[in-house]
Copies of this chain bind each other. A is one copy, B any other.
Amino acid sequence: MTPARVALIGFGTVGSGVARLLLEHRDRICRSAGRPVELVRIVDKDLTRPRNVRVPAELLSDDVGAAIEDPTVQIVIELIGGIEPARTIVLKALQAGKDVVTANKALLAEHGPELFREARRLGRSISFEASVAGGVPIIAALSESLVANEIRSIHAILNGTSNYILTRMEQRGVGYQEALAEAQKLGYAEADPTLDVSGADAAQKLCILAALAFGVQADWKCIPRQGIDVVELADLRYAGELGYTIKLIASAEVVDGKLDLRVCPTLVRHRTPLAEVWGAFNAVEVVGDAVGRVFFHGQGAGQMPTASAVVADVIDLVLGRAPITFRMLPIGCDPARGVPLADPKEARSRFYLRLRVVDRPGVLAEIAGILGRLQISIASVIQHEPDPPVEDGVVPLVIMTHAAPEGPMQQAIEAIEKLAVVRDKVVRFRVQD
């Protein structure tokens, strides 16, 4: 049996995990792939850094070009991340006749359609199970298992860092900064955590899921998003009192034939599957018209979970399934075939509002008046007697609304923030019931 020959570009954490699976578990991989899978080249610019896998020295090189051009290599695994040089490497690998496996969500969110069209033109394929939710097989679910369905919605926790931070805040009662520092210490968060906590990472992943499930080509930068850096411990406590927890939810939902995409901290009802996702885990809930609600939960990042997905893609390629699947994906096809995007202002939701207001008669009436004039009705209010009494006379007020469109809600908040009795910005989260 001719071995399948693989080049690995990017020998960082996930790359080392892939090398571990391919080198230390050859027999298992061979049994699953039907023939030997040989890792023949490993490329990284830093070859001296310590790694938790021993690889034969002759495999290592810093020459990307030589690996991609190697005529004996059939599969190139791209694990360097980011846009460039990853984009060029993927394009060159395709042009050199290789199939590509990647975990690069930023690249796919930004250049997916271009890369997929190029791969199709060249009769090659791109596999990307590891790009969203790590070891959770959500790409396979959307592109294979659920294809008999019209997908109605996706609600997902796609950023493990954010979920870890929110979990620590809720379970340990620590503030955002302290939880972030802890996540950084444990390696769950980067020194600059912006990409994770701003919701950008989740928006990129949502973009990939939405392309698969709804055939849309959305610009991830245009997806309305709010990060978790605005969530305070107080919000988690009020949410808890109302029967909810707060999660950074990436959602794609078809309403009246149009697709609403967004990433934002969201109140999720206790003891529902998404609410019970703790720590650095990821989860995706898909609703299809036939299958109903299906829920997937697992490790969204980390060396071995991500490597598990990358190697499954390699095996899929070696077996010959991947090209068949790739041919049918709606990414890089005529976007007119996809579900049209909704106006973000029209999306309806219940809302959680937290305000700091001056503690005097008539305040609630003023606020309720603004909401009422915009046809937003109040479902519940929390205003606790301050204990100990506050010195500045400013107290928190929490309002949960019934479903209302985003646009009027935004108008209401702007009007409320102008009231003399309201201090600071209004904190506003969506509620998912």
Contacts and interface: CB of A to CB of B under 8 A. Distances in A.
Interface stretch (A203-211, A320-328, A360-368): A320-328
Contact of A34 (B32, B302, B320, B327): B327
Interface string A403-414: 000000000000
A319 interface: yes
A144 interface: yes
A148 B294 contact: no
A327 B315 CA distance: 14
Interface residues of A, number: 53
Interface string A290-303: 11111111110010
A293 B304 contact: no
Interface string A131-155: 0000111001100111111100000
Contacts of A295: 295-298
Contacts of A221: none
Contact of A21 (B148, B297, B312, B321): B148
A273 B296 CA distance: 10
B328 A305 contact: no
A425 interface: no
A129 interface: yes
B292 A298 contact: yes
A150 B296 CA distance: 20
This chain: how many copies in the complex?
Answer: 2
A145 B140 CA distance: 7
Contact of A140 (B135, B140, B271): B140
A147 B32 contact: yes
Contact of A144 (B272, B308, B316): B316
A111 interface: no
B292 A294 contact: no
A276 interface: yes
B292 A304 contact: yes
Interface in A354-412: none
B135 A21 contact: no
A288 interface: yes
Contact of A305 (B28, B147, B291, B325): B291
A234 B294 CA distance: 32
Given A135-B291, A291-B305, 14 more contacts: A25-B148, A28-B150, A140-B141, A144-B316, A148-B307, A148-B308, A272-B276, A290-B304, A291-B299, A291-B309, A292-B298, A292-B299, A295-B296, A321-B324
